[in-house]
Chains A and B, each alone.
Chain A
Amino acid sequence: MALIEINDVTFTYPQSSVPALEQLSLRVEKGQFVVLFGPSGCGKSTLLRILKNEISPHGQLSGEVLFNGRSAGAATDFSREIGFVFQDPENQVVADEVLHELVFGLENIGLSTNDMRNRVAEIVDFMGAEPLLHRKTHDLSGGQKQQLNLASVLLMQPGVLLLDEPTAQLDPVSAREFLDMLVRLNEEFGMTIIMAEHRLDEVMAVADRVVMMGNGRVLLEGAPSNVIRQMRTAGERSYIPAIPSFYLQITNASQEIDIPLTVKTGRNWLQAAGMTITNMPESVAVKAKSQAKEIIKGKNLFFQYDTKERAVLKELDFSLSQGELYALLGGNGSGKSTLLQLVCGLQKAQRGKMSLHGKPLKSWKRQELAKTIGYLPQNPKLFFLHDTVEKELMHAVGQWQAIGRSEAESLLEALGIGDLRQKHPYDLSGGELQKAALACLLARKPEILVLDEPTKGLDPVSKGQLAEMLADLQQRGMTVMMASHDVEFVAKHATKCGMMFAGKITAEAVPAAFFSGNFFYTTMIQRLFRGTADNILTTEEAVRRCGVISE
């Protein structure tokens, strides 16, 4: 008997004509690690929420959900067996101090202090979080917050853990740590884990089963390598992680059983296959050498938020040339966002010079600056002042007089969000929200776009659309600067990369040169070819240079 059995569930939200889940059936065995994926809005979150009584959404539900063979309604005590971790690390936190947050759930179920002490001691030890115990929750990094949320849920000793895109808001290092913790829980304690996730590169290697969803249905499900194979035949390639995708593209043999999912298995396979790699002339490097006009130049920049705190930026030199797509990489708190705000004139450097078109940034009028530089913040929700997308856009049109109304309309259409114009910005998904904000930015016709982590929380499809859009804008002479954690995205689309470390840009080069020197901040494919051909970064390039093996 399966631990969780979902039979023919259809769920419709109130005032919605299309069901969010449609005749969905799924069985989850005890101790399995299941990953749900699919484009945003495909019903992953709804499915997870239906499994947890307390937060199940309002709406029309038909079909049955069984826990251990009993229906969800009868098994209310089973709901206690389920822990839920949400996507946003910040919003789940209730208390201002870590310890209070940890015991919040335990207090709610009326546990005695002694029991609480035992449980807290255990979990804090397990997670190595003792130094954090009396810290304020808002001092923690996103990754730490998410670990705290996980710990707080684990304290309630659930048998099943549901996670709704828990790593979407985290940087790759924190995301990896979080995932490791889940793997440990699954392997060492047999905890059943059901997780919705976009980043499949690492998850695929650890999951027992993956489920691809679309339009409220289960499209594909099974063991990771099976699903990957089916995805290829179904034409859903954007979800296939880099290494298996490369493998599938150069081997014709569809009967292969073990598709390499990790760098390790991939390298073994490469070695066994005796791959030959054709050498390519380094055309990329030559192209980037072409001289372009410098638009922004920063010299010897120094910045700190508070005289008591350490400096965020120091002795930083930096320049941005016309037509570039410059990507800043670097760990959390390395000062990427701060540098972007400095470029936009939103923060002022305490020392050093920053100039735009050769004129010091300080002497630019604020309105002119806002017209020249468009800034997309990490959290696009803060961007909107009006209650529909259209009003916001029309306000921007009226304010800047850069484009006409009809042009603005066609901008919405071009971005594919024409049907969302009457919606409230907060009702949009992450990708849609970003496009809406971008439309408002483009209504100003800025020369420079500054984007702070534009790929955060986006599904692969939206990411692809963003890339196309950026390439198109760049074609038309737009200069783009962005901060990103998304190495794969940067490797594919940036023209220049910079590494932030200790308040400086420590390395700067075109992607091929930049990533071939890196060990951690590099793509899966580059890791696969390290030592044999260091300058292969992307799947496309790898396929081009390896040729097809037919066995």
Chain B
Amino acid sequence: MIQRFQAFHPAVCFFYYAGSVTVLMLLQHPVALLAALLLIVVINAVHDRCKGLRQWLVMIIVTGFFLLILNPLFNERGQHVLFVLFDHRITLEAVIKGGMSALTIIAVFAVFVSYNEVMTPNKLLYLFAKFFPQFAVLLMLTLRFIPLMKRRLADISAVQQSKGVYVSGGNWRERAKNGLLYVQVLLTYSLEEAIQTADSMKAREYGSSTRSTYEHFRMKGIDIIAFLLLGFFLAVSIAGRMQGHLYLTVYPVMDSLTLTGTETVYLTAFLIYLSFPLLAEGGGMIRWRLLK
């Protein structure tokens, strides 16, 4: 668990993820991308032993694989021909290009998996509520309604089955018809009941004045420090990229894959930025040990 990181103000977490995704999209260097991906996997591992990542594994691999394969198949440009397949030149340049987009996609995916775990609907709601109060109410209602509808549909199917109307048997036409009937009952019933919800909202002064929001999270000193640190490293990484570093020129002539001295510095800055959750957790552990 990366509890320390989760305990930060949602704005900090959101900033971290937004920054990570931005830089990952900007980077165009296999070494840098590979290093970043490794780090993200480690973060996922520390967080939930890659449970979340494993759920998406097939999807991630398939997407990455396609990107890796498709680019060399459609793109013949490049000077280093690896081999020829059915009169089609497979070039090193194309493979590297494809590999980089694959790595980017995989890394961004992995970041989102972690984001999903850390940014609970609750935190998201809080962040949005400040700027779009109406949207926040909508989001809240939706969050409640989806599981509610699910349960109602289960109830409807039990009751209707007792009447001999079911979707788990009979020919497909009958099934489809009954399924639609279920949905019809679900919708009419839900709309009918929603009137009461609306009344209850009105009875609690909904829409009578501008909404404020209950702030579940307080910005603490440590959050501001985290903001400053993250901001600094992010700025350095982006500045480096703006100057043309950490970008592998492939066409017309491919650069060397090894990083130059300045590039190493910028990459280190980005890696420090990325490993922020780990550093926070590690720092917390050390402090805990010392206190004990």
* Interface, chain A (partner B; CB < 8 A): 52, 54-55, 80, 83-84, 86, 88, 90-97, 99-100, 103-113, 116-117, 120, 136-138, 149, 152-153, 156, 341, 344, 346-347, 366-367, 370-371, 373-375, 377, 379, 381-385, 396, 399, 426, 440
Contacts and interface: CB of A to CB of B under 8 A. Distances in A.
Contacts of B201: 94, 104
Nearest to B201: A94
Interface string B178-214: 0001001100110011101101111111111111111
Contacts of B160: 382, 385
Contacts of B42: none
B156 to A, nearest CB: 5
Interface stretch (B86-94, B141-149, B253-261, B264-272): B141-149
B200 A86 contact: yes
A109 B208 contact: yes
Given A88-B196, A426-B188, A95 B140 contact: yes
A110 B210 contact: yes
B200 A113 contact: no
Contacts of A55: 199, 202-203
Contact of B200 (A94, A100, A116): A94
Given A108-B205, A138-B148, A366 B165 contact: no
B139 to A, nearest CB: 10
B204 A346 contact: no
B204 A153 contact: yes
B209 A109 contact: yes
Contacts of B48: none
Nearest to A82: B203
B158 A346 contact: yes
Interface in B202-228: 202-216
A91 B159 contact: no
A67 B143 CA distance: 39
B163 interface: yes
Interface centre among A107, A120, A377 (most CB of B within 10 A): A107
A52 B169 CA distance: 50
B122 interface: yes
Interface of B: 121-122, 125, 133, 137, 140-141, 143-144, 147-148, 151-152, 155-156, 158-166, 169, 181, 184-185, 188-189, 192-194, 196-197, 199-216
B164 A383 contact: no
17 contacts: A54-B205, A80-B205, A84-B200, A93-B200, A104-B201, A104-B206, A106-B214, A109-B205, A138-B144, A152-B204, A153-B204, A366-B161, A367-B164, A375-B162, A382-B185, A399-B164, A426-B189
A105 B205 contact: yes
A3 B125 CA distance: 40
B154 to A, nearest CB: 10
A94 B199 contact: no
A385 B122 contact: no
B33 to A, nearest CB: 38
Interface centre among B133, B158, B161, B163 (most CB of A within 10 A): B163
Nearest to A94: B201
Contacts of B158: 341, 346-347, 377
Contact of A382 (B121, B122, B156, B200): B156
A375 B160 CA distance: 10
A396 B162 CA distance: 12
Contacts of A52: 203
Contacts of A341: 158
Contacts of A104: 201, 204, 206
Q: Which 9 A-B pairs have the closest CB atoms?
A: A105-B204, A375-B162, A370-B164, A92-B200, A91-B196, A103-B214, A96-B144, A84-B203, A96-B143
